[in-house]
Structures are given as C-alpha cells and as structure tokens.
C-alpha cells in the first residue's frame, strides 16, 4: 500500500456538532482524523447555544409551575430564585458534556488540537507555529453573532455573554425578533426580570406561520413582556446606574442590560479560505454542492458555516453524510426537505413543513384545519393561556404539507408527526388514527372542519 503524503486523511476545523459527527464517522471508517477547536469541544449548541439555553428555559418555567400548583391543591409558596446557584449548575453540566465529547473523540482515535486553525493552502492547516497537512479538509466552524454599528454597541451583550452574567438583571432590553430573541425574552421574564423586546419589523418570528407569530406575540405580552415593533436603537450610552438607549422614535429608554439577538452569520472570517481558493457567497457562507463539497475538490463544509439550515441536527446529518460520501464511497446528499424545528419560547412552538403562505404560493389551493383550545392543565390552574394547532393540506393530493403548534409540549408532539410527513402523511391517515385522550397531541387527529 502506498503511504499517504499527508499527515492526516481528514482534518476538521471546528469541533461543533457537524465537525464532531464527521470526525467520528470518518475515523470509524478507517480514516486518520484530526480536529481543531479554538474554544471548547461541542460547538455553539452544546457550549453557548441550545443546550444551556434549554436549561435556562426549564429554570424560567418554574415560577408558573409554582403558581399553577395552588389550583391543584398545593399550598402557595414564595419561591426565591438564586441566579448564582443556577449558573454554577448550568456550567457544571456544560463541563460534563464538553468532557463527554472529548472522550468520544478520543475513543474513536480522533486527535484533538485545542487551537485556532487556518488554511495555508488547500492541503495545509496552520495552528500557531505548527502546520499539518491533510488529504481532505472539512470546514465546520459554525456561525457567530451579528452586531450593528450603533454608537455605544460595546456596552451591549449577545447570547454568548448572557450565559455568564454575574447577576440577573432587574431590567433588560433585547433587540431582535427571531427565535433567539424571543427565547431569551421568555427566559429573563420567567426568572423575574422586566423585559422589553425591540424589533424593527411589524411582528416577531419572521418566516414562521403567521398564526403562530400572532399568538406568540400576544402570549408574551400577556406575560408582561413589553414588545416595541417598528423600533430600533440608534445610540447606547453608559450611565452611572446602567444604560440609556436612544430609540428611533426619539424616546430614551433606561435599562440595566442590553442584549442583541439580531441573527448570526457564517464564521468564515480569518480562516484563510481565500488562500485555498474556497468560494464564499455574498453572506460570507462557504458555497457547497449537494454533497457539501466546495469548489476546491478536497475541501468540504458542513453546518451553519454553509448557511443552509442553521440547526444542530441538520449539521449532524450533513457531517454524517459527508463522512459516508468521502470515506465509504457511498455518496449521500443530506435531506433538507421538511425539517422540523422548535422555538423554546413561552409558550413553545413546534413546526414542520410549509407555512400557510408558502403553501398558497407553491400549491395555489390548500385546505387549512385548526384547533384553538385551552390546555387541560390550565383549567384548574386558572390560567387563561390557550394553545393552537394547525394542519395545512394539499387539496389535489390530500397530503399534509405543514403542521404548526403553539402550546405546552408542542416540540415533543411535532417530532413524531415530522416522521409521518417525511413518509407522505395524508389527512385521511390522520382521520383514521385513534386519539390519545386526554392530550394536546390528539388535536392533530381530531380536526375535521376546514377553515372558511
């Protein structure tokens, strides 16, 4: 056998979800693999994204649970939330997960370099004073936060810093209307902060189904979150007791903390991609084909850095498909169709398939079934908050092309229905299914009346 002229068969830049999966699968297929990570193994999701944020979401829900318990016969309590204790517990869990990822890579004989890596050329990677070569290079550096050029923006935080605040702010302003913004608004509101959400458009969660957007915005306002639409921050000034924000309306807003959650962009800056000849699109994302290959034959990219669908499970699928394509000789194209997603807002959202507007644009004629109901738990709790479920059906084929829910357990419910939609679920299939009663999930198999 001819000895390889390279140090590694595969070198992965970035040890997030996509990079770790690709490394592990490639190594299991016999490749000599190394991965470089400049921060911590696990990536945005595990270290400073969906995992710690979900833990914060759990913590924030307890204040309503304590209130609701009284309606079920429990004595009223006066709970006290300890931010410091929670952050310590959250950090310990993230440390544990970071350690597990390292052990998993080590057990698969993947060499880990805890260093920033950049490309010198199409086969050479630099880490400080050290260079190594690789037959194949995978870019899996994920995304990074966007910040505006607003005067005084250095006084603001992003989601990165929100996980490590020394104390819970009494007042916080969050700029943005996407899922990260609304999730953190719910978190800080639930933990006891006074929250103001500022969004420059007319309604939060652009791109989601309109009925969910309307209901979530109202639910958040009912919980005491102040939402200012058609609004932006034009200047930020540090004061003796916090921050003073100048809004585009001319109004001044005082707050303890300002957080920007205005989207993320592919993390490609300073990676040396131009030296290797890798093409980027106008947003700075690595351009790839259906098999995650760039315009440079031996360089691939997966995950948020490609700006396809910026979700952790998608990055994992892309990483796995890449490894099979490159190291097993089995070309696999990751499937980006009908990818389910969730927003862990308060209340949460689960969704899969087309929105109503998308279905109307693409199909022309659709049937819409919906159910607006009060979750059973809320009756004895005395809580007026309602839930909502919606099914969108292609009139011509009877296929379900979209399901959208807002309310308790929506993400858990949608996961199962996502499988059915991938398999060609029809409305007739739902009608034939016996419901689980009493449950919120049964709403999706009991809808019988089309919306006028």
Q: Active site residue: 61, 63, 336, 437, which one? A: 437
Q: Is 289 annotated in some ligand binding site?
A: no
The boundaries of the domain holding residue 58 are 8-145+265-328
Q: 311: closest CA among 284, 336, 283?
A: 336
Token match 């910026």: residue?
310
Name the domain boundary from 215, 236, 261: 261
Q: Tell whether 153 and 186 lie within a shared domain.
A: yes
CATH of the domain at 318: 3.50.50.60
Q: Is 263 annotated in some ligand binding site?
A: yes
What burial letters (b/e) apply to 272-301, b meaning 16+ CB within 10 Å? bbeebebebeeebbbebeebbbbebebbbb
3-state SS, residue 367:
strand
Q: Is 256 annotated in some ligand binding site?
A: no
Residue 2: its pLDDT value, please?
Answer: 53
Residue 305: its pLDDT value, please?
Answer: 97
State pTM to two decimals: 0.95
- Per-residue pLDDT tens, the chain, 452 aa: give them: 456 899 999 999 999 999 999 999 999 999 999 999 998 888 888 888 999 999 999 999 999 999 999 999 999 999 999 999 999 999 999 999 999 999 999 999 999 999 999 999 999 999 999 999 999 999 999 999 999 999 999 999 999 999 999 999 999 999 999 999 999 999 999 999 999 999 999 999 999 999 999 999 999 999 999 999 999 999 999 999 999 999 999 999 999 999 999 999 999 999 999 999 999 999 999 999 999 999 999 999 999 999 999 999 999 999 999 999 999 999 999 999 999 999 999 999 999 999 999 999 999 999 999 999 999 999 999 999 999 999 999 999 999 999 999 999 999 999 999 999 999 999 999 999 999 999 999 999 999 989 97
Measured CA distances, 415 to 168, 188, 212, 391, 444 (Å): 33, 27, 17, 15, 13
Q: Is 32 annotated in some ligand binding site?
A: no
Q: Is 267 annotated in some ligand binding site?
A: no
Q: Is 385 annotated in some ligand binding site?
A: no
Residue 451 lies in a domain: no
Residue 39: its pLDDT value, please?
Answer: 87
Q: Tell whether 255 and 271 lie within a shared domain.
A: no
Q: 292: closest CA among 120, 119, 110, 140?
A: 140
Residue 251 lies in a domain: yes
437 is an active site residue: yes
Q: Tell whether 226 and 238 lie within a shared domain.
A: yes
Q: Tell whether 29 and 134 lie within a shared domain.
A: yes
Cα gap 359→402, rounded to integer Å: 8
State how many domains the chain has: 3
Q: Is 43 annotated in some ligand binding site?
A: no
Residue 250: its pLDDT value, please?
Answer: 94
Paired tokens of 445: 């198999």
Residue 279 lies in a domain: yes
Q: Tell whether 35 and 141 lie within a shared domain.
A: yes
Q: Tell whether 136 and 21 lie within a shared domain.
A: yes
Name the domain boundary from 205, 233, 261: 261
Q: Is 353 annotated in some ligand binding site?
A: no
Paired tokens of 208: 């989601």
Q: Is 176 annotated in some ligand binding site?
A: yes
Residue 1: its pLDDT value, please?
Answer: 41
Q: Tell whether 288 and 309 lie within a shared domain.
A: yes
Q: Is 304 annotated in some ligand binding site?
A: yes
Q: 410: closest CA among 344, 356, 313, 334?
A: 344
Q: What are the φ and ψ backbone dihedral angles of 101, each rounded to 5 degrees?
A: -60, -40
């Amino acid at each position: 056998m001819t000895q390889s002229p390279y140090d590694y068969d595969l070198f992965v830049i970035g040890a997030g979800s996509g990079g770790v999966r690709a490394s592990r699968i490639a190594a299991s297929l016999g490749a000599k693999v190394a991965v470089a990570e400049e921060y911590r193994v696990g990536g945005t999701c595990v270290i400073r994204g969906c995992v710690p944020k979900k833990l914060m979401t759990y913590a924030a829900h307890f204040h309503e649970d304590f209130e609701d318990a009284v309606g079920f016969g429990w004595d009223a309590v006066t709970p006290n939330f300890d931010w410091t204790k929670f952050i310590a517990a959250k950090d310990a869990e993230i440390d544990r997960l970071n350690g597990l990822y390292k052990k998993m890579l080590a057990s698969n004989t993947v060499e880990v370099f805890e260093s920033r890596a950049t490309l010198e050329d199409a086969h050479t990677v630099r880490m400080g004073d050290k260079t190594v070569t690789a037959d194949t290079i995978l870019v899996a550096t994920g995304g990074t936060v966007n910040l505006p050029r607003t005067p005084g923006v250095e006084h603001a935080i992003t989601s990165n810093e929100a996980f490590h605040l020394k104390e819970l702010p009494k007042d916080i302003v969050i700029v943005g209307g996407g899922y990260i913004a609304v999730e953190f608004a719910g978190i800080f509101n639930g933990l006891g902060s006074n929250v103001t959400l500022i969004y420059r458009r007319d309604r939060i969660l652009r791109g989601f189904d309109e009925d969910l957007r309307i209901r979530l915005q109202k639910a958040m306002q009912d919980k005491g979150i102040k939402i200012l639409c058609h609004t932006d921050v034009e200047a930020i000034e540090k004061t003796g007791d916090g921050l003073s924000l100048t809004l585009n309306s001319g109004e001044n807003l005082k707050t303890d903390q300002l957080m920007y959650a205005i989207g993320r962009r592919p993390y490609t800056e300073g990676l040396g991609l131009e030296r290797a000849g890798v093409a980027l699109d106008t947003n700075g994302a690595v351009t790839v084909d259906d098999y995650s290959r760039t315009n440079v034959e031996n360089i691939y990219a997966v995950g948020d850095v490609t700006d396809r669908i910026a979700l952790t499970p998608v990055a994992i699928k892309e990483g796995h498909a890449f490894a099979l394509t490159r190291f097993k000789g089995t070309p696999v194209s990751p499937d980006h169709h009908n990818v389910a997603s969730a927003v862990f807002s308060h209340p949460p959202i689960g969704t899969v398939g087309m929105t109503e507007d998308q279905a109307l644009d693409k199909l022309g004629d659709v049937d819409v079934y919906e159910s607006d109901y009060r979750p059973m738990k809320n009756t004895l709790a005395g809580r007026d908050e309602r839930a909502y479920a919606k099914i969108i059906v292609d009139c011509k084929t009877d296929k379900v092309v979209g399901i959208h829910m807002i309310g308790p357990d929506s993400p858990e419910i949608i996961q199962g229905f996502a499988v059915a939609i991938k398999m060609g679920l029809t409305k007739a299939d739902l009608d034939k299914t016996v419901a689980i009663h009493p449950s919120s999930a049964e709403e999706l198999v009991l809808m019988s009346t089309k919306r006028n």
